[in-house]
Amino acid sequence: MLKDLTVGKESKLIFLFALPMLLGNVFQQLYNIIDSIIVGQYLGKGALAAVGASFPVVFVLISLIIGISSGSTIIISQYFGAKQYEKVKRAIDTMFIILFFSSIIVTVIGISFSHTIFELMKLPEEIIGDATIFFNIIIGGVVLLFGFNGVSAVLRGLGDSKTPLYFLIISTILNIILVILFVVVFKWGIAGAAFATVIAQGVSFILAVIYLNKYHSIINFSYKNIVFDKDIFYKSLKIGIPSGLQQTFVAIGMMALMRVVSDFGTNTIAAYTVAGRIDSFAAMPAMNFSMALSTFVGQNIGANKIDRVKKGYIATLWMTGFISIIVTLSVYFFGEQMMSLFSNDHEVIQIGKSYLIIVSSFYILFSFMFANNGVLRGAGDTLVPMFITLFSLWLLRIPFSYIISKQIGSDGIWWSIPLAWFVGCVLSYIYYKTGRWKRKALIKYPIIEEIPIVEKLPD
């Protein structure tokens, strides 16, 4: 069901729109957690470290394309808010053409250079083989990943966050069943975990396409009637390239951080992988409310209702701030028990526990930063957030993680994370207060200056 976010109580709309996305990501992260538990318990900490090391590389290859498609999502939400449905359809078609051809390029590049990339990251020799196998299978199915994420992004842009949830649940359940079958029963090793992910995403994507073609008039995935719109494509690039470059440099930054982590050996890589899984789970509320806020902002800017944007922003700050405090307390007090689910290795558990205690204390900064960026992205202003993110990551987090870790060990890597969040939060808020993002809207309305009314004085 497509949802008009330009009318109604702002906090209620954003909460109800974010909730299905949050539940969907709970299921998705639940798979990631169960997958890591199975890999860690049945294949050992080396395989667990290999899986963790491969994800930053996957992220590097897909982030630019995902960022460009996010530009299409913003265009879709603004056209939908302006009730320009023919342009909505053209924007959807154009996005999927971009995703299809990009997936072919990404697959070829990824498989050709995977082993070399892992060698450059200085991974321990004992995990490079498993990391290469896992990565090649995942990147070989990237066309299905792009397709599935593309469907979800389109529906969110149109105000429908429930339908992606249903297909994400199907994908997650199938994923869990297959990873148990392939790894535990068939003994396929780390390749089994990768095949489970690819197959589950592929099945869910096909089911989503069948469903949408049958029940959604605006969305029709027919290669015979698909239209490539050059104007929308260029607008997508203008909005999406900053987000894509931001995500690409963030992904490269994650590889650089993995290079720092690798200096401390397999135990630290495994702990970083596990703690990162828990950390990703804890970060979901802030990220999903930010995505909901972006769609809310996009539709209301498209409908020329700027006053609702600030109300939605304030409501999001209150909601994510409250949730982040609860999440912080949960991770802080039960982090060690969470780590023990993935590994029985005492050193891995203690290193991961230290990560969680340091990072979880600052989740409220993370939530505020994402709320700020949610407004800017929804308005189509993606260039400044890109520079803020790159500054926080490359000039603060990566250098500090290297410098401090040389003095106090792996804890120095973990302390660099909240430092980057703090700077990103402050800079994004300052830019939000300037109001310049209001000028970036795709849908332009004439600015009508108010003429002061002068009352006639009595004689």
Give the integer Cα–Cα distance in Å for 368 and 390.
18
Structure tokens at 52: 């963790």
Q: What is the pLDDT of residues 254-302, one digit of tens each?
A: 788 888 998 898 899 989 988 988 888 888 899 889 989 988 988 888 8
pLDDT for position 450: 38
Mean pLDDT on 209-229: 77
Torsion-angle region of residue 122: left (phi > 0), alpha (psi -120 to 50) or beta?
Answer: left
pLDDT band at 444 (very low <50, low <70, confident <90, very high): low
Which run of H or E residues covers position 337? helix 306-340
pLDDT of residue 254: 79
Q: How many CA atoms lie within 13 A of 196 on its CB side?
A: 30
Report the percentage of the chain scoring pLDDT > 90.
34
Q: Taking 70 as the threshold, does the pLDDT of residue 443 lie above it?
A: no
pLDDT tens per residue, range 407-425:
999 999 999 999 999 999 9
Name the more confident of 180 and 26.
180
DSSP tally for the chain: helices H, then strands E:
15, 0
Instruction: Please report the pLDDT score of residue 455 as a whole number.
Output: 39
The pLDDT of residue 217 is: 67
Residue 214 predicted with pLDDT over 90 = no
Amino acid letter, 133: I
For the ranges 157-166, 191-200, 274-283, 376-385, the one whose mean pLDDT is highest: 191-200
Give which of 227, 294, 237, 242 is closest to 88, Cα–Cα.
227
Identify the pLDDT of residue 2.
61
239-250 pLDDT tens trace: 778 777 777 877
- Residue 390, judged by CB atoms within 10 A of its CB (0-12, 13-18, 19+), counts as middle
In this predicted structure, what is the pLDDT of residue 226? 83
Q: Answer yes or no: are the C-beta atoms of 157 and 5 closer than 8 Å.
A: no
Higher pLDDT, 249 or 317: 317
Whole-prediction pTM value?
0.70
Mean pLDDT over 311-334 rounds to 93
Confidence band (pLDDT; 50, 70, 90) for 136? very high
Higher pLDDT, 200 or 155: 200
CB 424 within 8 A of CB 388: yes
Distance, CA of 99 to CA of 283 (rounded, Å): 27
Query: Of 440, 316, 307, whose CA–CA distance to 374 is shortest?
Result: 316
- Band (pLDDT 50/70/90 cuts) for residue 111 is very high
The span from the CA of 423 to the CA of 407, in Å, is: 22
Looking at per-residue confidence, does 220 or 393 come out higher? 393
pLDDT tens per residue, range 146-169: 888 888 878 877 777 788 888 888
Confidence of residue 107 (pLDDT cuts 50, 70, 90): very high
Task: Compute CA distances 240 → 55, 118, 290, 383, whole Å.
Answer: 22, 28, 17, 9
Give the pLDDT score at 83.
81
* Distance between CA atoms of residues 22 and 196, nearest Å: 23
Residue 98 neighbours by CB distance under 10 Å: 22
Give the pLDDT band of residue 458 (cuts 50, 70, 90).
Answer: very low
Portion of the chain with pLDDT greater than 70, in percent: 93
Provide the pLDDT confidence category of residue 452 given band limits of 50, 70 and 90.
very low
Neighbours of 280 (CB within 10 A): 15
